[in-house]
C-alpha cells in the first residue's frame, strides 16, 4: 500500500491509498473555485438519558451541489472536476465538505439556555468519506481481496490519525449501502466519524464488558466467541483469524457479526495476516448476504472499535453487518417498540437466518 496526502481547493485533506507502490503519482491539483464552509456543529447531552446528540445546522443549507450527472466520488476528467482531483485512484479518503462534526466548529456556551442540566459543547470531531474504488458501478462485495486489504489499511491509518485529534473519544468507520437506507450516492463508499464522546451503544457495551472482566478476569467477547464456535448453529463462516456468526439475540432480520479471534481494540491493531484474512472472509460474507434474496442486499456495516482512551482491554474490535430487508420485497421499519423503547422484535430466529445464509455459501 502507498499513501499520498494532499489538499483540496478549500483546504480539506485528501489521502490516496494505492494498492501498490508503482501506482501513478497522485499529484493532481483541485482546480475548482470552492468557498471555504463554516461548520456549525454542536453536541448536546440529553438530560434524561445522558446520551449525546449532534446538531449540524450548516448541513441544511448546502450551497454547493454538484450537477446531477456528475458523481462527486468519481475521478475528475478534463472540464468535470469532482471531489477527487486525480484521473484515477484505488482508495481515496477525504474530509466531508458538510461534516456532522468538525474541529472547525466554533466554541459554544457550556449549557443550553443556561440550564445546568443540559450540557452543550462544540461539535469537535471529524467526518471523512472513504471511496473504495474509482469504479462507479462496483460494490464493496465486488472488490478484489487485495483492494479490500488496501481499504483495511486505510481504515487503520485513519483510526490511528483521528484518535490523535485532541478531544476525539471514539472512531467509527461504517458503510451504508442501498437506497432503502437512504444512500443517495451510488458510488461505492463509506464514512468515518470521529466523535468527541463515547457513543451510547459503546458506553453500554463497555459497561457490560467491564463488569464481566471484573468478575471473570477475561474479555466477554472471547468467551462469547468460544461459545458460539462450540454451539455452531449460528456460525456462517470461519477462517484462521476471523469468525462470522449471526448473534444469538440478533435485532435485525439479517445480521452478521465478524469478529477477530484475537482481542484487539481497533483496526489499527490488526496484524498483516489478520488484515489479509479479513478480506477473504468478509467477501465470503457479503456474497452470502447478496445471495439471500438474489439481489444486492441493502446493509449497514458498522465497525465497533474500543474508545480512544478507555476500555482498550475490555472491548474487542468487531464488525456488525445488518439489513432492514426482512424479505425480498419487504423492509423492517423501526416502529413503536424499536424507536420508542429500543426493544427489537425480530420475525425470524437467528438460527433460521444463519441456516439460510449457510445454504448460499
List residues forming the annotated binding site for Zn(2+): 71, 74, 136, 187
Give CA–CA dist 90/234, Å, rounded.
35
What's the closest the beta carbon of residue 187 comes to Zn ion, in angstroms? 3
Contact status, residue 148 vs residue 267, Cβ threshold 8 Å = no
What's the closest the beta carbon of residue 145 comes to Zn ion, in angstroms? 22
What's the closest the beta carbon of residue 95 comes to Zn ion, in angstroms? 18
Contact status, residue 270 vs residue 281, Cβ threshold 8 Å = no
Contact status, residue 278 vs residue 240, Cβ threshold 8 Å = no
Q: Who contacts 262 (Cβ-Cβ below 8 Å, separation ≥6)? A: 241, 274
Part of the chain binding Zn ion (CB under 5 A), chosen from 46-54, 134-142, 197-205, 274-282: 134-142
**Binding residues for Zn ion restricted to 50-79, rule: CB under 5 A:** 71, 73-74
| Active-site choice (189, 257, 304, 318) | 189
Active site residue 189: yes
Part of the chain binding Zn ion (CB under 5 A), chosen from 36-44, 182-190, 194-202, 333-341: 182-190
Give CA–CA dist 314/219, Å, rounded.
6
Backbone angles phi, psi at 76, to 5 degrees: -75, 145
Contact status, residue 156 vs residue 302, Cβ threshold 8 Å = no
What's the closest the beta carbon of residue 30 comes to Zn ion, in angstroms? 17
Q: Does 136 bind Zn ion (CB under 5 A)?
A: yes
Residue 354, all three cell numbers: 444463519
Contact status, residue 233 vs residue 351, Cβ threshold 8 Å = yes
Which residue is listed with cell 462485495?
141
Part of the chain binding Zn ion (CB under 5 A), chosen from 28-36, 113-121, 152-160, 186-194: 186-194
Of the pair 139, 210, the CB lying nearest Zn ion is at 139
Q: Does 80 bind Zn ion (CB under 5 A)?
A: no
**Binding residues for Zn ion restricted to 249-288, rule: CB under 5 A:** none
What's the closest the beta carbon of residue 72 comes to Zn ion, in angstroms? 8
- Residue of minimal Cβ distance to Zn ion: 71
10 Å Cβ neighbour count for 204?
A: 12
Q: Does 187 bind Zn ion (CB under 5 A)?
A: yes
Report the length, in residues, of the chain.
Answer: 361
Size of the site for Zn ion (CB under 5 A): 5
Of the pair 71, 160, the CB lying nearest Zn ion is at 71
Q: In a 3-state reduction of DSSP, which class is residue 9?
A: coil
Residue 318, all three cell numbers: 468487531
Of the pair 129, 268, the CB lying nearest Zn ion is at 129
Interface positions with Zn ion (CB under 5 A): 71, 73-74, 136, 187
Which are the catalytic amino acids? 189
Amino acid at each position: 500500500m502507498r499513501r499520498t496526502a494532499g489538499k483540496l481547493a478549500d483546504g480539506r485533506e485528501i489521502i490516496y491509498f494505492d494498492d501498490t507502490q508503482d501506482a501513478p503519482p497522485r499529484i493532481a491539483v483541485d482546480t475548482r473555485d470552492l468557498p471555504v464552509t463554516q461548520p456549525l456543529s454542536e453536541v448536546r447531552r440529553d438530560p434524561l438519558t445522558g446520551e449525546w446528540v449532534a446538531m449540524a445546522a450548516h448541513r441544511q443549507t448546502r450551497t454547493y451541489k454538484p450537477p446531477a450527472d456528475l458523481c462527486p466520488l468519481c475521478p475528475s476528467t478534463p472540464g468535470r472536476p469532482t471531489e477527487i482531483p486525480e484521473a484515477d485512484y484505488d482508495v481515496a479518503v477525504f474530509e466531508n465538505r458538510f461534516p456532522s462534526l468538525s474541529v472547525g466548529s466554533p466554541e459554544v456556551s457550556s449549557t443550553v439556555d443556561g440550564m445546568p442540566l443540559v450540557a452543550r459543547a462544540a461539535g469537535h470531531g471529524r467526518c471523512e468519506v472513504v471511496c473504495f474504488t474509482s469504479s462507479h458501478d462496483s460494490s464493496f462485495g465486488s472488490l478484489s481481496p487485495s483492494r479490500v486489504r488496501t481499504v483495511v489499511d486505510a481504515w487503520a491509518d485513519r483510526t490511528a490519525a483521528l484518535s490523535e485529534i485532541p478531544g476525539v473519544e471514539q472512531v467509527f468507520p461504517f458503510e451504508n449501502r442501498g437506497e432503502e437506507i437512504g444512500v443517495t450516492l451510488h458510488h461505492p463508499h463509506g464514512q468515518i466519524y470521529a466523535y468527541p464522546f463515547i457513543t451510547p451503544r459503546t458506553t453500554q457495551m463497555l459497561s457490560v464488558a467491564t463488569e464481566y472482566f471484573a468478575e471473570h478476569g477475561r474479555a466477554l467477547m472471547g468467551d462469547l466467541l468460544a461459545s458460539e464456535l462450540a454451539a455452531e448453529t449460528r456460525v456462517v463462516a470461519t477462517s484462521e483469524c476471523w469468525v462470522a456468526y449471526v448473534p444469538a439475540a440478533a435485532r435485525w432480520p439479517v445480521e452478521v457479526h465478524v469478529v477477530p479471534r484475537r482481542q484487539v481494540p481497533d483496526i489499527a491493531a490488526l496484524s498483516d495476516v489478520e488484515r489479509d484474512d479479513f478480506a477473504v472472509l468478509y467477501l465470503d460474507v457479503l456474497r452470502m448476504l447478496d445471495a439471500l434474496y438474489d439481489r444486492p442486499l441493502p446493509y449497514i456495516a458498522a465497525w465497533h472499535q474500543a474508545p480512544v482512551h478507555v476500555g482498550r482491554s475490555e472491548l474487542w474490535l468487531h464488525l456488525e453487518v445488518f439489513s432492514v430487508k426482512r424479505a425480498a420485497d419487504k423492509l423492517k421499519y423501526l416502529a413503536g417498540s424499536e424507536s420508542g423503547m429500543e426493544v427489537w422484535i425480530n420475525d425470524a430466529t437467528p438460527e433460521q437466518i444463519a441456516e439460510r445464509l449457510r445454504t448460499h455459501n
